[in-house]
Chains A and B, each alone.
Chain A
Amino acid sequence: MSNAIGLVPLLPLLSSLLLMIFGARMTRPMITLLGVGSVGAAALATAALAMEFMANPQPIEITLWTWMKVANLTSGVAFYVDGLTLVMMSVITGVGFLIHLFSSEFMHQDASYARYFAYLNMFVCAMLVLVLADNLLLLYLGWEGVGVCSYLLVGFWYTDRANGRAARKAFIVTRIGDTAMALGLLLLFTELGTLDIQSMVGAANAKWQVGDSLPTLACLLLLAGAAGKSAQLPLHTWLPDAMAGPTPVSALIHAATMVTAGVYLIARTHGLFLLSPTAMTTVAIVGIATSLLAAVTALMQSDIKRILAYSTISQIGYMFLALGVGAWTAGIFHLMTHAFFKALLFLGSGAIIHCLHHEHNIFKMGGLRSRMPVTFWSFMIGSAALAALPMTSGFFSKDQILLQAYQQASIGPWLWLAGLLGALLTAVYSFRLVFIVFFGNAKTEPDREIGWAMAIPLTILCALSMVGGYFALPLAQVFPTASADHPAHWVEIVSIGVPLVGLAIAYGLYLGRQLSAPSWTTGVTGQALREFWFSGWGIDRLYDGLLVRPYDRLAALFSSEPVDRFYSAIVDVNQTLHQWLSSTQSGRMRWYIASMVFGLIALLGIAFNIAPGAL
């Protein structure tokens, strides 16, 4: 089986190529079979691989071919499978398959059905390469590959200019991070002479001491890449706009898999990050700051997908917090449970959008509880897990993160406190969504029921969101073991209780209406503050003024090609001289005679001056 590792990314790749080349001539059932079936087959192959790995938990390495070998650079198309890889592969192919299945109904009416699955399959392939890669260069291939697929899928409905804009924004903002990451690769290779992840970490530990400046620099560059891909501060602005893509795309790429690539990258190179306490703390601070900022913004939104997008940013912030405090396993654990419940929520929102004439505004929904029962329960379970209510999957993972954050050496309790505030906000915004959409009076009637291809993935994801917290991940060999101490009991109890308080607040504010909005939110300042938060703390506007418009202006300034003016000037001088000289050729005999006489005198004068004796 280990020889068949290559098969897992190959299946979706082949399917994608077939769909690209022959898709226009295929019938819909054929497209569905290829598009959904290939990912299903990849999921089965992953399951077989996982079974084999469980029997003999040793990392598997295979080299398919040498990619490039120049001077001391050797990089193979080579895969490395350990527990971490398997967790990622299972999420990608498992959740990916469910989302593909959901898509087959969601996108069924779309004219570009084949193109959709071609892109989606290509994405799965690139994402698998990203997590399978045994060296950073191949990882970077997957990394950029998922970026392009994300671009293609965000801008899938390309006739709308706004979608194109969102797609470009997604690509370019993440590319800023990618470029920093590429520089990190250059630095690591130049210093350590290899990009192979395992040997690189080994070489780094042999060469550098904890606290050296070079590992800090390298880690911060990798962090910039991770922040771009995982929509963390300050590169998070692309994700809310990326919701322009079809909703299953948001579920797969912008919730369950691609956006967690940054978390994977840091976890994969944790041996390097452990050399730099500064970088670790930065990761934690970036994570918690993003988490809070996005949670507040989520609370202000009215577009159902934007709420979920900000929620995703916020939850990945928790994963970064986990990584930053060295809670590696908890971070990956939260990555997995988040993939379950956030995919569930996105697919649920897809079901609503599908049945409600593409309505996105939660205030135009309402009362959907009885009309869309499967979707309602999906949202209930998904939101409960998102809010980390006890016994849901999200509870187990987030609880671990908060407790380990508390134990962080320097600023642990502060991180914990901020994390708690985030947890409170999470519970409020997730149940605000549920209460507004599913309770109260119906404002828009659904025009159809969801079919089995949408209901089955929702049901399975519901189950996973409930029981996912009991999964034991095979990560013991991958990460150093976390400390066994537990913080004081009251810390645990508070951590468990806060989400319940959030639920109560949401109930009071949005359902029971026992509470009214605090008075300060209605005044002029409150209004301004709400708008500020609604716009995501004005960061988009900041970048617009700081980067986008100056670049536009720069381009406009240069568009006349200033360098060419130098050459045009030479031409002008020549032409002026030419006109000047040719004007002497007037055809008037008098002028000619006069100029000859003057010329002769001048020449004689010069000759007389140079050689007086000659005359």
Chain B
Amino acid sequence: MAMISLVLILLVGGVIAALSERLSSNAPRWVALATIALTLGYLLAVMATMDDLQRLQASTPSDPATWLMHFKSPWIPAFGINLEMALDGISLLMVLLTLFLGAVAVSASWTDVDQHQGFFEANLLWTLAGVLGVFMAVDLLLFFVFWEVMLIPMYFMIAIWGHENRAYAAMKFFIFTQASGLLMLVATLGLVAAHREATGVFSFSYFDLLHTPMSETTAHWLMLGFFIAFVVKLPGFPFHTWLPDAHTQAPTAGSVILAGILLKTGAYGLIRFAVPLFPTAAIEFAPIALFLGVAGILYGAVLAFAQTDFKRLVAYSSVSHMGFILLGVYALNELALQGALMQMIAHGFSTAALFMIAGALQERLHSRDMRQMGGLWQAMPRMGAVAMFFVVASLGLPGLGNFVAEFLVLLGVFQVDRWIAVIAALGLITGAVYSLMLMQRAFHGEPNPRFENLQLNDFGAREMFTMAAMIVALVALGLYPQPILDTTQSSVLGLVEWIAQGVAQ
């Protein structure tokens, strides 16, 4: 019940935020913050009362009793559809990340969104509700419903509060995600049908569907359906082209949520569904997935370097970083999977922060064009220093979370395929090239003369507080990642064993 409540708090909070706009323009923001804080507080309270956190030490994907939480209540019994949700270490971390970055997004919207604040914050909270549902649903139809719940408010956020080319970007985002969602629905129905054919039972439950005997061909096609749906969301090369437009046109808070959280639902889907539901097919498909991962790393990096728009550059850097996740998932060993999970979290922080900086610059300069920037460090040293931090985080400086992630992925991939690891490692060089270029074009060099007529305020207390939180998080991830690794370890081990068993059968 607790898990449903988490989603409900956010949904109801969204309604209140929408209504509270009548009080003042700031009210929705405070309501949004309070709602996120309440959700987080409730989650922590539930966790605190749980006497068996040690379940983190032993969980198998197929046995809900080994998960931290499990809830099941009938919804459409005729078709075996339930309100079934479950939480393991991976879900827990993703939920925490979502709430953390949700608060960051509210902070980012504080001055950025200046009309219909109520509806904006409502959309933001509803997206978060959908994401939380996605991270916890283990009934595949319920999962699909939440998948749509997070999509539609996001569409509104881009279409209503976006920048100059928002209509195009929002439509592109919608069509890509909707088409891939449809593919997932079809694959889900196919899987349920296969399960019914083999066992005679209708069930949409993850725990039942894991045990679906099916022919190799069926498994291949169904796996491909899930894979494409999630890789579009991730996004992986060559399904990434919606992302630069959506990220660039979205309002700052939207970019933060998109890059920080929504992309992770794709990665989560791969780890939770696309791989364990079809272990043999996933292994056979792995070389292609690894290739797409490497292609994404390099393609994203080259395109990031070619951009002149600050946000577009960061968007392409996400494509590059998501390539590491694809690699990490499909190396299918513990090191690489842990790396992929770490990347999901670390990339969430580093990219969210870079998008906030982009938003702050747009507010001050009314431009994202780096040719209109240069020498901004002088006027805004605090922002410059913060940007420097996140730029080096994003290029994978050891001591910060992104390095732990990328190194573990490379280590895991190297054990599977050395050449893939070697080519992926080139991403470390190309990553440095575009990252430092960003710093140069925006903050270094001679101050651009057009600044003279502009009021360039450095980061204020609210912005510095938000940034400091993310800096601390990345340093903690980089220097002491063990608590995070421990939280996901049993689920990762369970998954690796599950695949080994699936292949053995």
Contacts and interface: CB of A to CB of B under 8 A. Distances in A.
Given A164-B444, A559-B306, A145 B397 contact: yes
Contacts of A566: 238
A178 B414 contact: no
B414 A187 contact: yes
B240 A563 contact: yes
Contact of B429 (A24, A144, A172, A187): A172
B440 A159 contact: no
A158 interface: yes
22 contacts: A65-B480, A67-B480, A68-B482, A71-B333, A71-B338, A73-B335, A77-B479, A152-B388, A158-B445, A159-B375, A168-B437, A175-B429, A178-B428, A182-B407, A182-B428, A183-B422, A186-B411, A186-B414, A551-B305, A563-B238, A563-B241, A567-B241
Contacts of A155: 444
Interface in A147-178: 148, 151-152, 155, 158-161, 164-165, 167-168, 171-172, 175-176, 178
Interface string B379-405: 001000100100010000111000110
A167 B446 CA distance: 15
Given A70-B408, A71-B334, A186-B410, 19 more contacts: A68-B481, A71-B335, A141-B403, A144-B403, A145-B399, A148-B397, A160-B446, A161-B440, A175-B429, A179-B425, A186-B411, A186-B425, A187-B414, A551-B302, A551-B433, A554-B302, A555-B302, A559-B306, A563-B240
Interface of B: 237-238, 240-241, 244, 299, 302-303, 305-307, 333-335, 338, 375, 377-378, 381, 385, 388, 392, 397-399, 403-404, 407-408, 410-411, 414-415, 421-422, 425-426, 428-429, 432-433, 436-437, 440, 443-447, 479-482, 485, 489
Nearest to B388: A152
Given A164-B445, A564-B241, A70 B479 contact: no
A70 B334 contact: yes
B299 A558 contact: yes
A187 B378 CA distance: 44
A527 interface: no
Given A159-B446, A561-B241, A564-B241, A171 B333 contact: no
Contacts of A20: 385
A468 to B, nearest CB: 33
A564 B481 CA distance: 38
Contacts of A171: 432, 436
A178 B338 CA distance: 23
B303 A561 contact: yes
B128 to A, nearest CB: 29
A69 interface: yes
Contacts of B440: 161, 164-165, 168
B210 to A, nearest CB: 24
Contacts of B479: 67, 77
A556 interface: yes
Contacts of A556: 306
A556 to B, nearest CB: 6
A186 B421 contact: yes
B504 to A, nearest CB: 20
A148 B392 contact: yes
B305 A70 contact: no
Nearest to B406: A182
A151 B436 contact: yes
Contacts of A186: 410-411, 414, 421, 425
Contacts of A148: 392, 397
A1 to B, nearest CB: 25
B445 A176 contact: no
7 closest Cβ pairs, A-B complex: A559-B306, A141-B398, A555-B306, A564-B241, A158-B444, A186-B414, A71-B334
A154 to B, nearest CB: 12
Contacts of B415: 190
Nearest to A560: B306
A66 interface: yes
Contacts of A164: 440, 444-445
Contacts of A172: 429, 432-433, 436
B373 to A, nearest CB: 13
A217 B282 CA distance: 33
Interface residues of A, number: 52
A276 to B, nearest CB: 19
B398 A144 contact: yes
Contacts of A439: none
Nearest to B413: A186
B444 A182 contact: no
Interface in A121-150: 137, 140-141, 143-145, 148
Contacts of A160: 446
Nearest to A159: B446
Contacts of B408: 68, 70, 73
Contacts of B482: 66-69
Contacts of A178: 428
Contacts of B335: 70-71, 73
A562 B404 CA distance: 32
Nearest to B486: A69
A211 to B, nearest CB: 22
B142 to A, nearest CB: 30
A189 interface: yes
A69 to B, nearest CB: 6
A70 B397 contact: no
Nearest to A556: B306
A148 B391 CA distance: 11
Contacts of B240: 563
B414 A190 contact: yes
B405 to A, nearest CB: 11
Interface string A552-592: 00111011010110110000000000000000000000000
A17 to B, nearest CB: 11
B489 to A, nearest CB: 8
Contact of A179 (B411, B426, B437, B444): B426
Contacts of A144: 397-399, 403
A137 B403 CA distance: 11
Contacts of B432: 171-172, 175
Contacts of B306: 555-556, 558-559
Given A141-B399, A175-B428, A558-B299, A159 B445 contact: yes
Contacts of A168: 436-437, 440
Contact of B411 (A151, A152, A189): A189
Contacts of A559: 303, 306-307
Nearest to B384: A158
Interface string A6-20: 000000000000001
A231 to B, nearest CB: 17
Interface string A263-306: 00000000000000000000000000000000000000000000
A221 to B, nearest CB: 10
B230 to A, nearest CB: 18
Contact of A563 (B237, B334, B425, B446): B237
Contact of B425 (A182, A189, A555): A182
Contacts of B388: 152
Contacts of B437: 168
A558 B378 contact: no
A151 B397 CA distance: 13
Nearest to B425: A179
B336 to A, nearest CB: 10
Interface in A63-120: 65-71, 73, 77
Contacts of A183: 414, 421-422, 425
Contacts of A558: 299, 302-303, 306
Interface in A180-209: 182-183, 186-187, 189-190
A182 B446 contact: no
Nearest to B389: A20
A161 B446 contact: yes
Contacts of A71: 333-335, 338
Nearest to B484: A68
Contacts of B237: 563
